[in-house]
Chain A
Amino acid sequence: MTGPSTRLHPGLRAAFAAEAVAVVRYTYFAQVAEVEGHAEAARLFTEAARSAECAAHGHLDFLRYAGDATTDEPIGETELNVASAVSGVLRDATESYPELVAAAHAEGLADVAGWLTTVAALKNAHTAKFERVLAQLTEHAFASAPTGPDLE
């Protein structure tokens, strides 16, 4: 199977990102609607979010052959997926969030800086967890391959 063309690929990636964001937006909007007592609107948002999630996964079904839509790392099998997750979350923890924290402080938004600091801490925790799983998977791969790793 061949992946999408170079022209189609960026479009598909953008569509994936939009659907993924829609899932979170709708879930958030549903919570607001519930709090405000608009049960029908809440239900609509919740159902739309679930469909958008399914659509986003559908985009990934095609995109996975071209690599992770976020990190560009190759994905597919769990070992590759975990490696891609490590690469993404490591960048969040060590670059993206620290930069944002500094920017928030520079703008005098102490609470925003405080918030981003806690998220950076979460990303650090995730990095450690994913790295641990990756190490286990790699170890397992070595152990189960009697002739050593298959270097392509």
Chain B
Amino acid sequence: MTTDDTRIGEVGPIVLTGDYAAASIVVFSGLEAVRRNPSMYVGSTDADGLHHLVFELVDNAVDEHEAGHCGDVHVTVHDDGSCSVRDDGRGIPTDPHPETGRPACEVVLTTLHSGGKFGGDSYATSAGLHGVGLCCVNALSRWLALDVWRDGEHVWQNFARGEPEGDPVRVDGSTGRGTLIRFGPDDAVFGEHRFDAATIADRMEEVAFLHPGLRVRFTDERTGREDAFLHRDGVRGLLEHRNRHATVVHPAPVVVDERSGSLAVEIALWWTEGYEEEVWSFVNGVRTRQGGSHVEGLRAGLASAVNRYAADNGMLDTVAGERITTVDILEGLTAAMIVRMDAPRFDGQVKQRLRTPEVAHVLKGVVERALWQALLDDPDLGRRVVARALDATRARLAARLAGRTARHRPRELEIDYAVYQRQFGIRSRNWHDSCSWLTDDGLLAKHADLCDVPADTRMLDVCCGSGVVGNAFAGRVGEMIGLDITPEMVRLASDRLDRVDQGTVYDLPYGDGSFGLVVNREVLHLLPQPEKPLAEVFRVLRPGGQFIVGQIVPYTDEDAFWMFRIFKKKQPLLFQMFREQEFRALLLDAGFVDLRMEEYFLWESIDLWIDTHETTPAHRSEIRRLYYDAPAEVRAVHPFEVRSDGSVRDRWRWCVYSLRKPLG
């Protein structure tokens, strides 16, 4: 296994040239080394490595800010795919370098040097990839243009693949100050990878947050996007900004600012009505994306304080043994956290997790005391936080029960319809935001295009949800009727269909042969004994009538079990994950004929899809893990994407079927 330590160990001998007399040799061999093995210097030659070039330049501006000389840094992605970083710092020195006689700025851009950033334990406190030097940016750029405003001069110089193109040009009479570097990344190194606005903007926001008072701007000329970040309020400011569109549980964040020995923590906490836990944590300026000891301590402290408060105030149903777990407290929690400490130890492949167990213990105590005091000081805060956690507790228990509620015996079927009504009733609030497939035009068209019935046909959209599927048949049929079990959905669908009835698919409230067309999408996997609802659909169709049904199905036998686990964790009411041939057989066994099937592939954001009431926080984590750790056999047949920020997109295979009830 390759760890950061071994990579740093390999960099060491090359970077730490030390001997300045050898500088002229290093000028050549240094940049050659970078071009020969770019991953060693910028981590990779994929999108992460490409963005690292930008962050390297930004870090230089930040250094100037920390030294008290820079108040503004501006990153621009240009139309031609190049990127520039402009700061208002002192400007890179341009006077002759004492050792080489060349201008200092040229030396900095063409020499792998051992500056202050390379010494000692700088890698222990930087993200592990930083501090590679401007020369790496230069070496990995097809072209680079440097502008320096300094000491009343404007100096510029151009480079190609790391080599200077002539001497710097100097013009007197400039009043400006600062450095502008614009570079076009070398396609021979980074291939097809391009700058991603979201990645850069996220990082810029972090930089602004970690360096209060530094104005950070980002412009994307390709789309006209403009962002400006300036934080003066530390953790609280970050949280207020990140939660600007969120529905919050209490009016203002809880702020903790404490010191314990050599450990200093600043934490802002804010519960929202969202489902995800979002903690932005930093240790000595390093973003710890994967959390670690400090986040563990935070969680434990919160759980302890909230549980104690709830118990002391008689807010728990002690008869039922109700207890708020850590996972419940985390639902909807947003937090920003800065820890400053001596000698942090990290692990994980990119040093994104703190492993210093004693920190967990200290932080648990600090957080528990601080939150406990805040709850005592503000009874309204206490009431709201406990109520939010109890919501999560009760939803978790309900989700556990949901999977166990529907039972059938070979001859009878006992289904607690209230469970379906509750699950889908709650979801109806943000139904159309809950995933992309619900309203995807291409998928709806795939269903509607199969329609082959007379124009005056009476259509039934069974388990219609919000009615979008039935609505897609507008103009192709005479009358559109919907049926759903959930009152909220009946109301939603009434805007799209001519009439919506409330009822169950196991016992359709219609006479035999009432419809010329029945449509249905992504429902049958949620129903035990799906042959019963199919028999009902068959019954209410007139002979010769058409049935159009869409379903997400696995690609092969190899990914079905994996998809079952994911879908079951997402929706506890799932009963089966039909494979294509299995679903086909189910339809034909119901008596339908003339089967036609069309496939449709749709990229779905899994993060969006699982951000929903019926998926518990633990299940959301487990679902992500199923993607991260997907078996090779699954990856071989089922396309999906995990991005560097951990978000997931899955390419779902939709099969849309058209069938007929036989004539006579």
Give chain A's interface residues, CB within 8 Å of chain B.
Answer: 31-32, 34-40, 105-106, 108-111, 113-115, 117-119, 121-122, 124-125
Contacts and interface: CB of A to CB of B under 8 A. Distances in A.
Interface stretch (B232-240, B252-260, B617-625): B617-625
Contacts of A38: 296
Contacts of B330: 37
Contacts of B563: 118
A117 B582 contact: yes
Contact of A111 (B357, B403, B409): B403
8 contacts: A36-B327, A37-B295, A105-B410, A109-B407, A114-B564, A114-B575, A115-B561, A125-B556
Interface in B402-453: 403, 406-410
Given A37-B299, A121-B579, 19 more contacts: A31-B625, A32-B618, A34-B625, A35-B625, A36-B326, A36-B327, A37-B300, A38-B296, A39-B291, A39-B296, A108-B408, A108-B409, A110-B406, A111-B528, A111-B575, A111-B576, A114-B577, A115-B568, A122-B558
Contacts of B353: 39
B355 interface: yes
A110 B326 CA distance: 31
B574 interface: yes
A121 to B, nearest CB: 4
A112 to B, nearest CB: 9
Contact of B357 (A40, A108, A117, A119): A40
A37 B291 contact: yes
A121 B557 contact: yes
Residue among B360, B529, B557, B568 with most chain A CB within 10 A: B557
**Closest 10 A/B residue pairs (Cβ):** A114-B576, A110-B528, A121-B557, A118-B560, A125-B557, A118-B561, A35-B621, A108-B407, A110-B575, A118-B564
Nearest to B582: A117
A106 B411 CA distance: 10
B292 interface: yes
Nearest to A110: B528
Interface in B261-303: 291-293, 295-296, 299-300
A111 B299 CA distance: 34
Contacts, number: 81
Nearest to B298: A37
Interface string B622-646: 1001000000010000000000000
Residue among A37, A38, A115, A119 with most chain B CB within 10 A: A37
Contact of B576 (A32, A35, A40, A110): A110
B410 A115 contact: no
A32 B621 CA distance: 9
A115 B565 CA distance: 8
Contacts of A109: 407
B205 to A, nearest CB: 25
Nearest to B297: A37
A106 B528 CA distance: 13
Given A36-B618, A40-B357, A124-B557, A115 B564 contact: yes
A140 B556 CA distance: 29
Given A110-B528, A122-B558, A39 B292 contact: yes
Contacts of A125: 556-558, 633
Nearest to A128: B557
B355 A31 contact: no
Interface string B529-569: 10000000000000000000000001011101101100010
Nearest to B403: A111
A105 B530 CA distance: 13
A144 B398 CA distance: 63
A40 to B, nearest CB: 6
Contacts of B633: 125
A42 B299 CA distance: 16
Interface string B93-120: 0000000000000000000000000000
Contacts of A39: 291-293, 296, 353, 355, 360
Nearest to A43: B355
A122 B558 CA distance: 5
B60 to A, nearest CB: 34
Contacts of A111: 403, 528, 568, 574-576
A35 B622 contact: yes
Contacts of A113: 576
Interface string B571-584: 00011110100100
A32 B561 CA distance: 20
B299 A117 contact: no
Nearest to A124: B557
B536 to A, nearest CB: 17
B615 to A, nearest CB: 13
Contacts of B564: 114-115, 118
A23 to B, nearest CB: 15
Given A36-B327, A36-B618, A106 B529 contact: no
Contacts of A115: 561, 564, 568
B28 to A, nearest CB: 46
Contacts of A122: 557-558, 560-561
Given A110-B528, A111-B575, A121 B561 contact: yes
B560 A121 contact: yes
B327 to A, nearest CB: 6
A17 B576 CA distance: 30
Contacts of A34: 621, 625
B56 to A, nearest CB: 31
A108 B529 CA distance: 10
Nearest to B634: A122
A55 B189 CA distance: 45
Contacts of B355: 39
Given A111-B575, A121-B561, A122-B558, A37 B622 contact: no
B622 A119 contact: no
Contacts of B295: 37
Given A35-B621, A115-B568, A117-B582, A110 B561 contact: no
B162 to A, nearest CB: 42
B409 A117 contact: no
Nearest to B572: A111
A110 B529 contact: yes
A97 B618 CA distance: 29
A52 B284 CA distance: 37
A31 to B, nearest CB: 6
Residue among A106, A110, A117, A118 with most chain B CB within 10 A: A118
B563 to A, nearest CB: 8
A31 B621 CA distance: 9
A117 B622 contact: no
A40 B554 CA distance: 36
Residue among A31, A115, A121 with most chain B CB within 10 A: A121
Contacts of A108: 407-409
A118 B576 CA distance: 8
Contacts of B403: 111
B576 A117 contact: yes
Contact of A37 (B296, B409, B558, B561): B296
Contacts of B292: 39
Contacts of A105: 410
A34 B292 CA distance: 10
Nearest to B406: A110
B577 A118 contact: yes
A35 B408 CA distance: 33
